[in-house]
Structure 1
């Protein structure tokens, strides 16, 4: 799936709005959070600076440069998106989420490990940003993007996570997978089995993390089914 190729900037903006509201309906964001989609090597679109569940249908999204000053009215943490896009040509979308299981696990300075199928999509590692401060300057955003490396997600201690994907659909799906992996990880810890419960080896996780068979498409359809701008 590549929304931009399918319909240009208007389609990309629609996908951002749908993603924003869908992340909210799934409980992965609340009053805080943001999502963006890459337009080209130099620019991306980010959702309006309002609670994501309240993004109106048809409202414009803001075009942001990958490098340079943020446009007026754009949230300061969108520098995170800039830093990721600048480092990762493979990233087509970025989700900044505040999901409850990820948040609880992060307070323990823990990240999900590949203990079930969905967790395999985040292997070989979910990075940890061990700092509770908000990231509102370029130096901190760059440091977080460096820590993310070539991974799909970085958990921020007491502050949610950043999830990336090759498309906005995959970034949203991976955000849901991260939350489910955090749920499983917390249950393993509650059972006192954090050190004894099996972790899926990297090679097995890579074989399990397939996208064929409509994996992303079906989850995207599930998450966006109630959206006013989703396709019939």
Structure 2
């Protein structure tokens, strides 16, 4: 591999670190969680296996095959990433997150419905995985990817969520959108106002699924603001 070939990989490593620390900054992960970005049809890059907020500038992740055994040191749940990338060719990035309000809803076997703008992106609602066990084998990962079907997020009972995007910018933004949708759902439940009367109509939902105007990009900038790899040298 030449230096010219390495340049894009270095930038993808940097973007992955930015996303990882952005997830931590947004309180979407804690000690657990991971994110990845597709490199090609056959490979993807996953962040270092440690608390994402502690990933240091310049600390590289691992290249992982879409199909096959995980490299040494890669977390077992990265099989979820393998299964999704293998099934969904349009997906370019994945965030495995532990968002608190989303997790709370998951304990009730609920996922947020489209009640405001952020919830509209997952209409009619995120998929649900009704199994609290850690997901560390290929058959389970493949079943989860099938359960996700064509959606952008799946909530795992007592075990966080998985969010997909065409790239890291979208995946990071949608991770925040999911948790904000869950926060609104929980708040309405507390007020006893979580019935159909607070749902967006189908037309309103469609109208709010806006991606122009740098919607995802601005959330990326918000969550990565002040990152050490964006500060002047």
The structural deviation recorded for 1:8 is: 1.4
- Say how many residue pairs are matched: 226
- Deviations along 1:87-108, one digit per CA (max 9) or x if unpaired, are 1111110000001111111111
Q: Which whole-Å CA distance do the structure 2 matches of 1:181 and 1:18 have between them?
A: 23
Q: CA deviation at 1:178?
A: 0.2
The residue number in structure 2 matching 1:3 is none
TM-score, structure 2 as length reference: 0.94
The equivalent of 2:96 in structure 1 is: 96
Residue 21 of structure 1 corresponds to: 21
Q: Residue 195 of structure 1: CA displacement?
A: 2.2
Answer yes or no: is the 8 Å Cα contact 1:30–1:52 preserved in 2: yes
The TM-score with structure 1 as length reference comes to 0.94
Kindly indicate whether residue 187 of structure 2 is the aligned counterpart of residue 191 of structure 1.
no
Aligned counterpart, 2:206: 206
Contact in 2 for aligned 1:188/1:197 (Cα 8 Å):
no
Partner Cα distance (2:203, 2:40) in 1: 33
Matches of 2:189 and 2:228, distance apart in 1: 39
Contact 1:113–1:185, Cα closer than 8 Å, also in 2: yes
Task: Structure 1 unaligned segments of length 5 or more: list them.
Answer: 1-6
Other-structure match for 2:131: 131
Rounded Cα–Cα distance in structure 1 between residues aligned with 2:46 and 2:53 = 14
Unaligned runs of 5+ in 2: 1-6
Partner of 2:69: 69
Aligned to 1:216: 216
Q: Kindly state the Cα deviation for residue 197 of structure 1 after the two structures are TM-superposed.
A: 3.3
What CA RMSD, in Å, does the superposition of the two structures yield over aligned residues?
A: 1.2
